[in-house]
Amino acid sequence: MNVSTQNEKLKSLYEQMLMIRCFEEEVERNMKKNLFHGTTHLCIGQEATAVGVCSILKQGDNITSTHRGHGHSIAMGADINKMMAELFGKVTGYSKGKGGSLHIADVESGNLGSNGIVGGGIPIAVGAALTAQIEKSKHVTVCFFGDGATNQGSFHEALNLASIWQLPVIFVCENNEYGMSSHIKDMVNIENLSSRADAYGIPGVTVDGNDVINVMEETKLAVDRARNGRGPTLIEAKTYRYSGHSKSDKQVYRTDEEVTERKEFDPILRLEKKMIKSCMVNNQELQEIKYKINQQVEAATQFALKSEEPELNELFADVYA
Amino acid sequence: MNVSTQNEKLKSLYEQMLMIRCFEEEVERNMKKNLFHGTTHLCIGQEATAVGVCSILKQGDNITSTHRGHGHSIAMGADINKMMAELFGKVTGYSKGKGGSLHIADVESGNLGSNGIVGGGIPIAVGAALTAQIEKSKHVTVCFFGDGATNQGSFHEALNLASIWQLPVIFVCENNEYGMSSHIKDMVNIENLSSRADAYGIPGVTVDGNDVINVMEETKLAVDRARNGRGPTLIEAKTYRYSGHSKSDKQVYRTDEEVTERKEFDPILRLEKKMIKSCMVNNQELQEIKYKINQQVEAATQFALKSEEPELNELFADVYA
Amino acid sequence: MRKLTYLESIREAMQQQMRANEKVFLLGEDIGVYGGGFGVTEGLLEEFGENRVRDTPISELGFTGVAVGAALTGLRPIVEFQFSDFIVLALDQIVNQAAKIHYMYGGKGSVPLVIRTPGGSGTGAAAQHSQSLEAWLTHIPGIKVIQPSTPYDAKGLLKAAIDDPNPVIFYEHKLLYKTIGDVPETPYTIPIGKADVKKEGTDLTVVATSIMVSRALEAAEELKKENISLEIIDPRTLVPLDERSILQSVKKTGRLLVVYEAVKRSGYGAEIASIVAEKGFEYLKAPIKRLGGQAVPIPSNKKLEKAAVPQVEDIIEVAKGLVR
Amino acid sequence: MRKLTYLESIREAMQQQMRANEKVFLLGEDIGVYGGGFGVTEGLLEEFGENRVRDTPISELGFTGVAVGAALTGLRPIVEFQFSDFIVLALDQIVNQAAKIHYMYGGKGSVPLVIRTPGGSGTGAAAQHSQSLEAWLTHIPGIKVIQPSTPYDAKGLLKAAIDDPNPVIFYEHKLLYKTIGDVPETPYTIPIGKADVKKEGTDLTVVATSIMVSRALEAAEELKKENISLEIIDPRTLVPLDERSILQSVKKTGRLLVVYEAVKRSGYGAEIASIVAEKGFEYLKAPIKRLGGQAVPIPSNKKLEKAAVPQVEDIIEVAKGLVR
Ligand SMILES: Cc1ncc(C[n+]2csc(CCOP(=O)(O)OP(=O)(O)O)c2C)c(N)n1
Ligand SMILES: Cc1ncc(C[n+]2csc(CCOP(=O)(O)OP(=O)(O)O)c2C)c(N)n1
Ligand SMILES: [Mg+2]
Ligand SMILES: [Mg+2]
């Protein structure tokens, strides 16, 4: 594509990443104020993976997400008002307040759902890809999961199934180095999780998950293969989580120094630098963008606060379709 | 070791393999006569793996086995009378007639048990190896399973655990090419199952499972590593099952030609040839051995037939330790 | 009328639904050329091809999850488990995913998934291949649980299950596969949630499920000779349960015996007994009895295996005790 | 006497058993430096080291199987599941292996394994983190199932579980962790299979488990004002169950209400109700009532979550209905 469209593209990626960052920071503030019943898992620091990957997808493509799924939902175009309302347990939320942070989904728009079970979404993504293959729809499915999930049996069984049936699915492992507290180096005995692809005879690649361009490029290759019937790919995106695992995390398993160090590779700052260097934007424009987005996330909180609680009869609705 | 002890060793391996063969053939005869309640899975054609592997083990070492476990039990020194009695459901059997063919075990002698769940024994073997490591006993555990079991999540989770903790366990995959009816080539998208070892950062090797010497040599290397604290190994032994998967198998998934072809690589005949070539035995001696062993397996059937059924109160015994 | 075995009627239901709706497909271990663990799917590969009759690796959790994902995106998978004991490996996908998705998503998305699997003992397959764990699934909101006892019920209920927009577990029984009964050739539906009075009677209500229905009927024949009249009710579907039919019968007879093969303790018969103890208390002239499996793993020895679960003689004995 | 929280008493029981027997060790996700999902194992890594406090990968089926193998070969593992919902991934090893090995091997080999895990709702964690599936395990011969409701019971029962030669599932409750009670410092054992009368009374027997015990006691306080006297029995262990204590109480009061958090349908309360409907029928002056969870997945919204399981007011209302 030509320079100007390329710049427009970059700018929209930037805005999406910033939206995720600001949304999560707002969620963190609300959580600290104890406005939520229940916990939530923030993806601050990992925005480039969600945005880079989803930017390649088309209408009709699907994703499955995880407990750390806000970024994936936003990258798939979710309405942050409905998301925030869901976290507040309001009837205006994606699940009428019945699912909460762990279960945000929007099946029509291709978000087959966050998941509270580590590894639970992996076979489901393969199933969505099977539908595409059987119906010859050319749609692909992206399956997000963390480094810790690669030690679940579901990972193994699902990748093998996707490979023997050559299904259009892209497995995206967001390796943020930690499970809840365990470092992935102590939980596997290999250098790169992407090498596990060899056990299934599919391509595996490790990308810099904090470089949105790099993420996009590798995702594009994988998506093109999948669309053309050439089967699944495993992408390992190396990234880092800034916040605690969840509300209750005291983070005794890592040092503040480590976290500060990692922030030097911040995906948003890196893109910002790039954009300024190439004179796409100036600082003032950036300030305007940030202001606009912060307005939107604050509005989301206001929307949620103003929304109604579900009626008691909602308890009994939706058990069966 | 010197030649004569080497020859003695070979001869005893031969006798064990022949014992397994003859036992299984006797079981098949009894099954055809409908003398058993329930099914059984024969390992005819796979004798070299069980015998070659177990010949390396010492007092205190353990194995876990599978639904196709008669050979493993015999190679661990099981009493064929008690085995046959178990298949007949008699109180003189290993499990007093309550476990049957699928659950023959002899925990004291290191046979931690056959298993009716494909892949069920794999984490259990890793647990036995953990005991050895924690108690610094220098004992190793051999974990037998089939090609089909390598697609179970338990395989993945167990091998990873064994690797990160560097446990003294040897994973022995008997690749007889088929699950119940599916060919492993259709169930995985890789050449050698041993390559899955790479996903866990452990050594993996493929051996000719019908060559008892080859099996022994590779097992020895793996066992030595394990005993010396250098962690687990995955051994893939390529072999072939002659009989149907179980009693009810019509074997429509393979041709008679294929089976006949494979029988050219019969593990017992190959050892026989070797022994005759090196003048260790002559045909007459072989006949005597075969006669002796057939006497023993027929005696096992007689023992089983003469044995008593368990009393009704056995139904309620052994639910809790 | 035309006779079919229980096994054939299940096959025919799948075959007819697959012809009627190309979104229906099968997935499971050795269901293709082998025809499935017990031969239920024999011939379907030939008619429908590998795309709709899919042999899977031995990956119960994985292929069940694949079915969930396929159902969530518009297909109608029918999964076969060779033995119901193996469901235990796939429960995360059944219980934490399939059963809850529609609710967790606030009524959006549905999982029209059918899981077929044989339960029960009697084949000498021992403790890991003979369990009856249907009660587990009945405890989980969002799933429906079906347990047919005759060829006729099997065909009509399986059609209902395949047409249902929710996850449905369809429990077959190994010992019923060869039983024969009248089965219409044209497709028909038996509504999920409707019990069937298999025999009318006046002295004692016997609620029996799966293989126990035929044993209860045998017992009833015997007891007739002693002028004891059993009314035998087959719920057919455990969730949803047709409470009304059961309560009406107890109202008439004043006595209840629940017979099931699963381990008595915490089996579904406990739920049935408890419902009557609460809503039918005033009808009761005698204690509510349950006949269920002994609290032991199923042994392989034939004699012990038989003694582990209710037999005709047990039903006769307990029934006599109740009416006397 | 010394006060401890329920959480601290569980930790102390493990700590004391680990000091007394070096074969006891812990295994689970994030139980080391993180101290476990809810902080129960905090400090144990420091005292006992990585060899006996083992952080595992997220491999529930795998590490449970490892524990089974370790137990079968002489160690005494205590496994923690961060949420009891995750047991669903490991049931093959619990149900098909651990529970059956001793029986399938004809009495040889044993599996002294303890599984600790918090069940229950009330934290807004939604449908996949709030289930109460203890009834499932009670259906499986070969396992023991414990559900302590107080700090005192938790410590004594956990010691009993660790000393037991069989697989034992120890169900904790998230909302009980911070509750405080008298707990002796010296190790003590509460026998598995002995119920505890938490409050004596005359008008109505209430059998309550886990978190429902304290709610029943609150309800009893309220009802006292209206001269309604509840007797509250806490089975403490579901398998084995102390039937005698329950039947004796019903003999005295003539009325029974069973209260549990799990989904009412097919919950363990159905088993308790059925036992009384069979063996205590002649004592009964009123229908047996059960109060259990609604047949819905647990929603995350606080108001709905509360409405999904029995609360004090529900117990009061039903109790009144029963005695009037
Ligand atoms: C089956 C299962 N086991 C354990 C948990 C508890 N848990 C939630 S998130 C998490 C860590 C997941 O690590 P990873 O897959 O790397 O994802 P991340 O949190 O780093 O995004 C754990 C152990 C769970 N939700 N599900
Ligand atoms: C969990 C589970 N799934 C399915 C089965 C049914 N089954 C028994 S053996 C078998 C094939 C196993 O193949 P493989 O692991 O290669 O062992 P082999 O039979 O070739 O020795 C199957 C599918 C089972 N016993 N357990
Ligand atoms: Mg991570
Ligand atoms: Mg095989």
* Amino acid C275: pLDDT: 98
Those residues with Cβ within 8 angstroms of residue D174's Cβ, 6 or more apart along the chain or in another chain: D38, D118, D119, D120, D122, D123
* Amino acid B280: pLDDT: 86
Rounded CA separation B66/B55 (Å): 18
Q: What b/e readout covers D19-50, taking b as 16+ CB neighbours within 10 angstroms?
A: eeeebbbbbbbbbbbbbbbbebbbebbeebee
DSSP labels, B60-71: T-EEE--SS-HH
Q: Which residues pair with C232 in a beta bridge?
A: C199, C206
Q: What is the mean pLDDT of chain B?
A: 97
Contact call for A161 and C67, based on CB within 8 A: no
Which residue do the tokens 């015994």 mark?
B317
Which residue do the tokens 């005819």 mark?
B44
Those residues with Cβ within 8 angstroms of residue C166's Cβ, 6 or more apart along the chain or in another chain: A320, A321, C102, C110, C111, C112, C142, C143, C144
Q: What is the mean pLDDT of chain A?
A: 97
Which residue do the tokens 């070791």 mark?
B1
For A131, the token pair is 């539908």
pLDDT digit string (tens) for C2-25? Answer: 999 999 999 999 999 999 999 999
pLDDT digit string (tens) for C134-173? Answer: 999 999 999 999 999 999 999 999 999 999 999 999 999 9
Known catalytic residue: D261?
no
Those residues with Cβ within 8 angstroms of residue A250's Cβ, 6 or more apart along the chain or in another chain: A244
Q: What b/e readout covers B157-194, taking b as 16+ CB neighbours within 10 angstroms?
A: bbbbbbbbbbbbbbbbbbbbbbbbbbebeebbbbeebb
For D38, the token pair is 């809810």
Whats the size of chain C, residue-wise? 324
Q: In sequence order, which ranges of chain C are alpha helices (DSSP H)?
A: 6-20, 44-48, 60-72, 91, 99-104, 134-138, 151-163, 211-224, 243-253, 268-279, 302-307, 312-323
Q: Does C29 touch chain B (CB under 8 A)?
A: yes
DSSP A314: G
Q: What totals of helices (H) and strands (E) does chain D contain, helices first?
A: 12, 14
Q: Which residues pair with D152 in a beta bridge?
A: none
Instruction: For residue B146, give the ligand 2 atom closest to its CA.
Output: 15
What average pLDDT does this structure show over A232-258? 96
For B8, the token pair is 């003695």
pLDDT of D5 higher than 90 = yes
Chain A residues with beta carbon closer than 8 angstroms to that of C71? 127
* Amino acid D324: pLDDT: 84
**Residue in chain D nearest C128 by alpha carbon:** D96
pLDDT digit string (tens) for A300-320? Answer: 999 999 999 999 999 999 999
Regarding predicted confidence, which is higher, A247 or B117?
B117
Find the helix or strand (DSSP H, E) in which B7 lies.
helix B3-32
One-letter amino acid at C20 equals A
**Ligand 3 (ion): which residues have CB within 5 A?**
A 146-147, 176
- Angle at which helices D151-163 and D6-20 cross, to 10°: 30
DSSP B183: B
Rounded CA separation B228/C313 (Å): 61
Q: Which strands, in side-by-side order, build the sheet including D76-80?
A: D53-55, D24-28, D76-80, D114-119, D168-173, D144-146, D237-239
Task: Give the residue among C217, B19, A153 at the shortest CA–CA distance from D63.
Answer: A153
Chain B contact partners (≥3 CB pairs within 8 A): A, C, D
Q: What totals of helices (H) and strands (E) does chain B contain, helices first?
A: 11, 5
Chain C residues with beta carbon closer than 8 angstroms to that of A62? 73
Whats the size of chain D, residue-wise? 324
Per the CB < 8 A criterion, the answer to whether A80 and A60 are in contact is no
Q: Give pTM, 2 decimals.
A: 0.98
Beta-strand pair D168-173/D114-119: parallel
Write the secondary structure of B77-114 as one string of H (helix), E (strand) and C (coil).
CCCHHHHHHHHCCCCCCCCCCCCCHHHCCEHHHCECCC
Protein residues whose CB sits closer than 6 Å to any atom of ligand 2: B 67-68, 116-118, 146-149, 176, 178-180, 245; C 29, 58, 60, 82, 86, 89
Find the helix or strand (DSSP H, E) in which B224 lies.
helix B212-227
To 5 degrees, how large is the angle CA C253–CA C255–CA C261?
Answer: 120
Task: Name the residue among B103, B180, B253 with its Cβ closest to that of C29.
Answer: B180
pLDDT digit string (tens) for A123-161? Answer: 999 999 999 999 999 999 999 999 999 999 999 999 999
Chain B residues with beta carbon closer than 8 angstroms to that of A149? none
Per the CB < 8 A criterion, the answer to whether B102 and C125 are in contact is yes
Ramachandran area for residue A134 (φ above 0: left; ψ -120 to 50: alpha; else beta): alpha
Beta-strand pair C230-234/C196-199: antiparallel
* Amino acid A1: pLDDT: 65
Rounded CA separation D144/D140 (Å): 9
- Residue B41: what are its φ and ψ, rounded to 5°? -120, 115
- Residue D162: what are its φ and ψ, rounded to 5°? -65, -35
What average pLDDT does this structure show over C61-69? 99
Those residues with Cβ within 8 angstroms of residue A21's Cβ, 6 or more apart along the chain or in another chain: A44, A47, A268
Distance A171 CA to ligand 4 centre (A): 28
Environment class of C226 (CB within 10 Å of its CB; exposed 0-12, middle 13-18, buried 19+):
exposed
Known catalytic residue: D139?
no
Q: Does D301 touch chain C (CB under 8 A)?
A: no
pLDDT of C286 higher than 90 = yes
Rounded CA separation D203/D205 (Å): 7
pLDDT of B276 higher than 90 = yes
In 3-state terms, what secondary structure has residue A236? Answer: strand
pLDDT digit string (tens) for D71-103? Answer: 999 999 999 999 999 999 999 999 999 999 999
For C193, the token pair is 């949630």
Q: How far is CA B144 from CA B102, B122, B126, C273, D121, in A?
A: 14, 8, 12, 46, 42
Chain A residues with beta carbon closer than 8 angstroms to that of C61? 123, 153-154, 157
Contact call for D305 and A252, based on CB within 8 A: no
One-letter amino acid at C144 equals K
Task: Give the residue among D13, D305, D47 at the shortest CA–CA distance from D161.
Answer: D13
Task: Name the residue among A116, A120, A310 with its Cβ closest to that of D301.
Answer: A310
Q: How far is CA A48 from CA A74, A216, C76, in A?
A: 12, 9, 36
Rounded CA separation A118/A147 (Å): 10
- Angle at which helices C60-72 and A121-134 cross, to 10°: 60
Q: Where are the beta strands (DSSP E) in chain B?
A: 62-64, 141-146, 169-175, 204-208, 233-238
Percent of chain B having pLDDT more than 90? Answer: 96
Task: Give the residue among B36, B20, B29, B30 at the shortest CA–CA distance from B86.
Answer: B36
To 5 degrees, how large is the angle CA A52–CA A58–CA A62?
Answer: 85
pLDDT band of residue A2 (cuts 50, 70, 90) is: confident
Rounded CA separation A245/B289 (Å): 66
- Test the C interface: residue of B41, B152, B154, B245 with most C CBs within 10 Å: B152
What average pLDDT does this structure show over C316-320? 98
Chain B residues with beta carbon closer than 8 angstroms to that of D51? 134
Instruction: Please tell me the distance in Å from C138's CA to the nearest CA on chain D.
Output: 7
* Amino acid B145: pLDDT: 99
pLDDT of B1 higher than 70 = no
Whats the size of chain B, residue-wise? 321
What average pLDDT does this structure show over D204-209? 98
Which residue do the tokens 């890809």 mark?
A129
Q: What is the mean pLDDT of chain D?
A: 98
Q: In sequence order, which ranges of chain A are alpha helices (DSSP H)?
A: 3-32, 47-54, 70-75, 80-87, 121-134, 153-164, 184-187, 212-227, 256-263, 267-277, 283-306
* Amino acid C184: pLDDT: 98
Percent of chain D having pLDDT more than 70? Answer: 100
Rounded CA separation A252/B25 (Å): 62
DSSP B308: P
pLDDT digit string (tens) for D177-198? Answer: 999 999 999 999 999 999 999 9
Contact call for B148 and C58, based on CB within 8 A: yes
Query: Is the preceding peptide bond at C240 cis, omega within 30 degrees of 0?
Result: yes
Please pick, among C8, C129, C172, C231, the residue that the annotation labels catalytic: C129
To 5 degrees, how large is the angle CA D101–CA B229–CA B138?
Answer: 55
One-letter amino acid at B70 equals H
Contact call for A117 and D294, based on CB within 8 A: no
Q: Does C142 touch chain A (CB under 8 A)?
A: yes
Task: Name the residue among C103, C277, C296 with its Cβ closest to that of D287.
Answer: C277
Task: Give the residue among B98, B79, B78, B76 at the shortest CA–CA distance from B87.
Answer: B98
Chain C contact partners (≥3 CB pairs within 8 A): A, B, D
What average pLDDT does this structure show over A55-84? 98
